[in-house]
A and B are shown apart, each in its own frame.
Chain A
Amino acid sequence: MKKRFLNWLDNRQHLAYTIIIPTLFLLLCFAYYPAIQSFRFSFLKYNIKMPGRTGFNGLVNYIAVLRDPQFIKSVIRVSYFMSIATVLVVLISLGIALTLNVKFGGRGILRTIIIIPWAIPPVVNGFLWKWIFNGDFGALNGLLFQLGIIDKYQFWLNNPFVALNLSIFMFVWRYSPFITVLFLGVLQSIPNELYEAARVDGAGPLGQFFFITVPSLQRVGAIAVILILIASFTVFDDIYALMGFDEATKTPMIYNYEVTFEMGRFGKGSAMAYMIGIFLFILTMLYIRMSFRKEKA
């Protein structure tokens, strides 16, 4: 009996289906089906706190989202967040990667150290910075005070614009290591002969940088930008821990959570989730296409 089963299993078709079916089942139950469910919700008048009053609503939820000034503001806010974060992450990662690409003692340890921020749970990252930015006893206040830059402690997070910028900073700190690792991987794969050849041809350090390093980083740079755009748009945990539902840092992700799970408005929340989702889907497809292109090259 057991032997017969093993024989049956050794057929490549049987084996493949036996492996795939459990996973496929989970994906259908916990990813595809829920996505269809919320798509259905997006056309319903549906508040989870008042399930009795559920009914078909047509496109009302979608229109409500588009005409919701809070949503529009959150989109503007996140656009600012994404642009600043992308520039900063690219510059910082590039700086660190270029430094770590130079041979020096202790480089290996340093390469390990720089990944640490990336490993920290994002929500803990939020708490970490909430403590540092604290108005009464925070380290940022302490540092600036002792350096003589401020003469009394400030409640940084009470100023909406400062709070938004600090939350960008917090994200940049956590996400840069990941991009640094990507850059470093590419930098190390540039053959040394290329630089030597350039030197022979009379290129100085700057020339080598612009004619060899920069072009080699082009593709990974484009992929990095897409990854940062996706990550900075979807950042939730850090902001939730740092600011909660504060107006100052209410990105579409935070607002979507508030509408759906705090207010219980599953209908409108689903519509918003789908509008956000389409945007993210486009970015993700771009990313997948670019990564596959490299695989073929």
Chain B
Amino acid sequence: MVALIIFWSLAPVLWILISSISTRAELYSVPPHWLPQNVTFTAYKNVLISGEGFRGGGGISAAELIRKGILNSVFIAVITTALVMIFAPLLGYAFSRLTFRGRNLFFYIIIGIIALPSWPVLIGLFSVFSAIGLLDTKLGLILLSFTFRIPFETWFMKGYFESVPSELEDAARIDGCTHIQTLYKVSIHVVRPGLIAVSIISFLFTWNMFTAPLVLTYTLRSKPLTVVMTEFIGQYFVHWDLMSAAAVLAIIPPVAIVLFFQKYIVKGLSAGAIK
């Protein structure tokens, strides 16, 4: 049973990894070479460094395509995550520790986004983006993924704040700390596990994002890795060696994060789904 679970979870990923280091001859052999006899990194060289042109590339080399895609993806995901890391604790603090007029109303407006279906938004967004010049920009994608993550993260952080006692914060307030000082000197340590969870999930969400950039970007100036990968698919021919290498590169960051922060993710996921 355990062996079956390991096979189920890992085999497809291992297969793409093996494909990415196989020679073309072995990649296109029948029956497949499950373990490559000659290991080669040509595909990685092609998508990262030397980058020969490829059929269907439209004059852009494979390396240029993937390098740009990776840079864009990293930039968009890192900035979005940073914004979430700044705003999620602030919003969580505001909705759990501060009383102010319209608190419930504002909270419902924010988490209302969760119930808002994404498809109508995306169609309208196309015209909003083109009206204010955000079409095909990284800034547009950053603002967009922030907009769609922050409701979940606010909801989660509010819950997290409410689940930890506020005595330490009250003491800090009595000692003369301002709200901001209390938040950054005291609360932030208490809610750190929650903050790590929301940051990771925001990063994964942004890195994996596909539909919105597919609609809202059209040049290498802003296309993320997920979108540039689709260009290895021609009408009749798919470059499976390049595709495998690019797929591995796209899989590495999220999988590394999952392996590294597993315990926070499990907490974040379950708390996010059942509160």
Contact = CB atoms under 8 A, between A and B. Distances in A.
A145 B184 CA distance: 61
Interface stretch (A73-81, A134-142, A154-162, A206-214): A134-142
Given A34-B123, A37-B127, A117-B9, A131 B19 contact: yes
Nearest to B259: A112
Which 9 A-B residue pairs are closest in the complex by CB-CB distance?
A34-B124, A277-B117, A37-B124, A38-B124, A121-B208, A142-B32, A185-B270, A273-B119, A16-B100
Interface stretch (B49-57, B58-66, B240-248): B240-248
A149 interface: no
A71 interface: no
Interface stretch (A62-70, A197-205, A253-261): A253-261
A37 to B, nearest CB: 3
A210 B205 CA distance: 37
B178 interface: yes
Contact of A96 (B5, B124, B255): B5
B9 A113 contact: yes
A281 B106 contact: no
16 contacts: A30-B128, A34-B122, A34-B123, A113-B9, A123-B210, A127-B229, A128-B16, A132-B15, A141-B31, A185-B270, A236-B211, A261-B215, A266-B123, A284-B114, A292-B275, A294-B275
Contacts of B115: 281, 284-285, 288
Interface in B220-275: 226, 229-230, 238, 240, 243-244, 247, 250-251, 254-255, 257-259, 262, 265-266, 269-270, 273-275
Contacts of A129: 12
Contacts of B109: 24, 27
A292 to B, nearest CB: 7
Interface in A92-126: 96, 99-100, 104, 106, 110-124
A278 to B, nearest CB: 8
Interface stretch (B40-48, B141-149, B164-172): B141-149
Main secondary structure of the interface of A (DSSP, over half): helix
B16 A123 contact: no
B37 interface: no
Contact of A173 (B12, B27, B180): B12
B210 A116 contact: no
B123 A10 contact: no
Contacts of B93: 19
Interface string B64-91: 0000000000000000000000010011
A36 B8 CA distance: 44
A223 B31 contact: no
A136 B237 CA distance: 12
Interface string B1-42: 110011011101101100100000001111110100000000
A45 to B, nearest CB: 15
A31 to B, nearest CB: 5
Interface string B134-176: 0000000001101110110010000100000000000000000
A31 B148 contact: yes
Contacts of B122: 34, 273
Contacts of B116: 31-32, 35, 281
B125 interface: yes
A15 B262 CA distance: 34
A137 B121 contact: no
B166 to A, nearest CB: 14
